[in-house]
Structure 1
Amino acid sequence: MSKSAKENSRDHPSHSMQNLKILARLMTAKFLHTEIREKGGAYGGGARLSYGGMFALYSYRDPRSTETLQSFMKAIDWAKAGRFTQQDIDEAKLSVFSAVDAPVAPSDKGLDHFLYGLSDEMKQVHREQLFAVCHEDLVNVSNRYLDAGRSTHGVALFGPDNASIAKDPSWVIRQ
């Protein structure tokens, strides 16, 4: 199998990263925004995949931060159950592609290759992997990574004092 064929394989780690990138956008737009912002009153929130590969669920300026933690668990269940449509997936892809294919200033052309070793061919493989993400991939990656994350996760809340957390001995409060 050639290198590019391996990279295009659905079992290749980079393909999981593309799936998680689409999944983060999908969870944000189709589940978390409604739960955290519209119902919960937070200024914002969602899911994101960092450049280092950490999948994070977040909210900010959230008056119901402890309840939001339950919304995060519901979002994971939603993703694992595949409760989204092909149209939802297509919209998430468009959102991700808007960043991937954003215009590059002439002064920045070649910068990714110089700084990170990313060739035009590597960028094209990345685009193709994003484009190929399907419903089954998203359900599989949810079950593989997000379910495991329930036992290997960290939680941090920043903000004003929270009475329910102050009463809960499982929280470490630092001021």
Structure 2
Amino acid sequence: IDAPISVSQEGMVYFTDRLSDDLRQKRREQLLAVTEDDVKYAAITYLKQHETKRDYSIAIIGEENEEIEKNNEYNVYRMKIDEAKES
């Protein structure tokens, strides 16, 4: 959040996100004010409850992997890409 940006990047941030310097600074201060307890609370509230309910999905897109294929928790679907559409 504190990486230096050029003047043109500053203008682009304002143009695309409509964030003034004041709003950007406020967001920065809020992010830096997050505590370890805040992160733990968010994880328990928004992530852990879903883990036990199993009402979520995981998608992995990439090369074939024997470990994943052997794991019965995953359904592996192969995507067929029409080579004619690629070119």
Quickly name the TM-score band, shorter chain normalised.
0.5 to 0.7
Q: CA deviation at 1:108?
A: 2.0
Matched to 2:11, the amino acid is G
Structure exhibiting the larger radius of gyration computed from Cα positions: 2
In the alignment, which of 155, 169, 174 is matched to residue 58 of structure 2? 155
Q: For the structure 1 residues 122 and 167, does the alpha-carbon distance in structure 2 shift closer, same or farther, using more than 3 Å as the test? A: closer
Deviations 1:145-168 (A, max 9, x none): 111342332222332242662573
CA distance in 2, matches of 1:156, 1:166: 16
Taking the aligned partners of 1:141 and 1:134, their CA distance within structure 2 comes to 11
TM norm structure 1: 0.37
User: What does residue 47 of structure 1 align with?
Assistant: none
Report if aligned partners of 1:113, 1:119 keep a CA contact under 8 Å in 2.
yes
Write the distance in 1 (CA, Å) between the matches of 2:31 and 2:2. Answer: 12
Matches within 5 A, 1:1-175: 100-150=1-51, 151-157=54-60, 158-162=62-66, 165-166=69-70, 168=72, 171-175=75-79
Tell me the amino acid that sits aligned with residue 55 of structure 2: T
TM-score, normalised on structure 2? 0.66
Identity %: 29
Unaligned runs of 5+ in 1: 1-99
3-state SS, counterpart of residue 23 of structure 2:
helix
Residues 11-65 of structure 1: per-residue CA shift (max 9 Å, x gap) = xxxxxxxxxxxxxxxxxxxxxxxxxxxxxxxxxxxxxxxxxxxxxxxxxxxxxxx
Offset at residue 169 of structure 1 (A): 7.7
Task: Indicate how the Cα distance of structure 1 residues 163 and 118 shifts in structure 2: closer, same or farther if over 3 A, else same.
Answer: closer
Shift of 1:142: 0.8
- Check whether the contact 1:112–1:118 (CA below 8 A) recurs between aligned residues: yes
Task: Name segments (4+ residues, structure 1) moved above 6 Å.
Answer: none
Aligned length: 76
- Structure with bigger strand share is 1
